[in-house]
Amino acid sequence: MLRSFKLKFFILATLAILLFAIITRVSVRNTSSIPLHELFYANFASFLELTVKDAQGNLSDHPSSPEKKDFSPQLPRVKQQLNNYFPQLNSEQIQVWLSDAGNDPQSENIKTAAWRKLNGTEQIPNVLMAEIKKDGQTLEVFKASLGHQSVYVSLPADVFQAQFLDIMDARESIVNSLWPLLVVYIFLCTWFLTSWVMRSLQNLENTFQKIELKEHGVRLSEKQFDREFENFIGYFNSLIRRLQLSYEQASRFSSDAAHELRTPLTVIRGNLKRLLNRAPDHSVEQIQLSMISDEVERLISITNKLVLLSQADGDNFNLALKEIKLFDSIAVIGEDLHTLAPHIQFEYALSPDIKLLADPSLFQQLLSNLVSNAIKYTPPQGSIQFKAKVFAGVVEFSLANTTYLSLEGLDDRVFQRFYRHLNDPSSHNQIPKGDGLGLSLCQEIAHAHGGTLTLKTGPENWVTFTATWKSA
């Protein structure tokens, strides 16, 4: 499952987004503390300035100049407004006093304070701020100018930190509620990106499937694919050229060799027959010549099959299609089988009306190879069964036999040329001779007619070859 590109991409994208989310949450919490605190200070300073101006406007008329008006009566009003601004604080935590309070302890604490302007002081120019330590507690002190006086406000620094934490908690709550949407977003992005990336690979795969080694001059165009695939396409075209050259050389060799062997083998067979006729009956010479004759016949059979296979490789089967009655062909084979192998039970069940279109000689070659293969590997007192049926204009026939070979490892490799499955669990059976070309030729004949030939094993020790053919 981990071999899936889409799954890997989804995991990587998910981890990347999760890592980004974690880093941003940590960085925002650590880097936004000072800016947000400055914002809180500025907002409070603006509120303080407006509160002081409002209280100053409520002063009763005084015969003295406006700069010398007494602001002390308005301090309770200012403090009440500040209590409303910070309802979580009690009245003792908010201290408000004037600069001319004399020996007021509050004034003593701010004598050495480092006053500074707040960010955005162009909007609140009359308020300054300082941070002091008192009895192990950090206090934020604000100074608002008021004519010849100044109004001081002292607040615990924790109140602004609480505001910061409330904002962070609200932010995290919002982010946590968005996790399902984030997962959906990751999935959709992964699907879109992988589909976009895999589109080029899918086009490349579809092009690969259309390439046949039998076709000459087949090349992939580098302009059909993304620029990143140019080197790969060039390497693939070079590989295809080498493979086609090797395929052509191998096909030509097998075809030429088979044709060249036919004439000398025919001459050898003719001379062997004459020598056999001249040799004394039951003599050593006759036995030896007979053995040589059998091997020559085997070589002739191999060369004939190689010629047919070379024709199949080049799509040069010259099919002379005719209507064939399947029942008649099987009946003849059944009679021959009863004579040649009486120890094997041959059964066939098919309608006499089944007809198919095939080249008679090639179809007979296919049936002969399948039956001879079944005879070779069927034990004494074994069974061979032939069945056929017609559906949707297709004839499906099968040849099944019991076998003494092990079914383990018996698969489609039997259709490969020169491959023989000789896994015999019992050492009492003599392995029959064979060339490993019969089943390969049968499959090529079926494909040439537009049909198929497949292998199925079981149940128990049964082996079944099933072919599909065009009905007549």
User: Per residue in 260-310, pLDDT tens?
Assistant: 777 787 888 888 888 878 888 878 888 888 888 888 887 777 777 777 777
42 and 138 share a domain? yes
The residue segments making up the domain with residue 347 are 322-470
Contacts 24+ apart (CB under 8 A), 5-13: 5/194, 5/198, 6/190, 6/191, 6/194, 6/198, 9/190, 9/193, 9/194, 9/197, 10/186, 10/187, 10/190, 10/194, 13/186, 13/189, 13/190, 13/193
The winner for highest mean pLDDT among 256-265, 404-413, 447-456 is 447-456
pLDDT of residue 431: 59
Average pLDDT over residues 84-100: 86
Over 90: is that where the pLDDT of 467 sits? yes
Over 80: is that where the pLDDT of 465 sits? yes
Over 80: is that where the pLDDT of 317 sits? no
Q: Is 173 exposed, middle or buried (0-12, 13-18, 19+ CB in 10 A)?
A: exposed
pLDDT of residue 141: 92
Q: Is 102 exposed, middle or buried (0-12, 13-18, 19+ CB in 10 A)?
A: exposed
Domain final position from 289, 313, 337? 313
15: in domain: no
Give the separation between CA 21 and CA 30, rounded to whole angstroms: 14
pLDDT of residue 453: 92
pLDDT of residue 401: 92
333 and 425 share a domain? yes
Q: For residues 42 and 129, is the Cβ–Cβ distance under 8 A?
A: no
262 and 242 share a domain? yes
Q: For residues 196 and 16, is the Cβ–Cβ distance under 8 A?
A: no
359 and 283 share a domain? no
pLDDT band at 335 (very low <50, low <70, confident <90, very high): confident
332 and 308 share a domain? no
Give the separation between CA 57 and CA 69, rounded to whole angstroms: 11
369 and 303 share a domain? no
pLDDT of residue 39: 87
Q: For residue 339, give the 3-state DSSP assignment.
A: helix
> 467: closest CA among 363, 377, 376, 392?
363
285 and 354 share a domain? no
pLDDT of residue 22: 82
C-alpha dist (Å) from residue 90 to 105, 156, 172, 268, 351: 20, 11, 29, 123, 105
User: Per residue in 131-154, pLDDT tens?
Assistant: 988 888 899 999 988 767 788 999
CATH code at 298? 1.10.287.130
Conformational region of residue 165, where left means phi above 0, alpha means psi within -120 to 50, and beta covers everything else: alpha
85: in domain: yes
Give the separation between CA 399 and CA 374, rounded to whole angstroms: 8
253 and 390 share a domain? no
Q: In this structure, what token pair is assigned to residue 111?
A: 């004598």
pLDDT of residue 303: 78
Average pLDDT over residues 10-21: 80
pLDDT of residue 123: 62
pLDDT of residue 400: 92
- Describe the crossing of helices 33-57 and 158-177 by its angle, rounded to 10 degrees: 120
282 and 386 share a domain? no
Over 80: is that where the pLDDT of 249 sits? no
Q: In this structure, what token pair is assigned to residue 463?
A: 């082996």
User: Per residue in 157-178, pLDDT tens?
Assistant: 999 989 888 888 888 888 788 8
Average pLDDT over residues 343-366: 87
How many domains does the chain contain in total? 3
Over 70: is that where the pLDDT of 466 sits? yes
135 and 250 share a domain? no
Average pLDDT, the chain: 80
Q: For residues 448 and 312, is the Cβ–Cβ distance under 8 A?
A: yes
Q: Is 310 exposed, middle or buried (0-12, 13-18, 19+ CB in 10 A)?
A: buried
pLDDT of residue 435: 67
- Identity of the amino acid at 268: I
209: in domain: no
192 vs 218, residue with greater confidence? 192
51 and 117 share a domain? yes
The DSSP line for 201-254 is HHHHHHHHHH--TTSTT----GGGS-GGGHHHHHHHHHHHHHHHHHHHHHHHHH
CATH code at 158? 3.30.450
365: in domain: yes
Average pLDDT over residues 124-136: 85
The DSSP line for 257-319 is HHHHHHHHHHHHHHHHHHHHHHSPTT-HHHHHHHHHHHHHHHHHHHHHHHHHHHHHHTT----
391: in domain: yes
Tell me how crowded residue 153 is: count the other CB atoms within 10 A of its CB.
Answer: 23
Domain final position from 177, 205, 234? 177
pLDDT of residue 217: 58
CATH code at 383? 3.30.565.10
pLDDT of residue 6: 73
User: Per residue in 437-448, pLDDT tens?
Assistant: 888 888 888 888
Over 70: is that where the pLDDT of 315 sits? no
pLDDT of residue 177: 85
195: in domain: no
63: in domain: no
293 and 328 share a domain? no
Domain final position from 143, 177, 211? 177
214: in domain: no
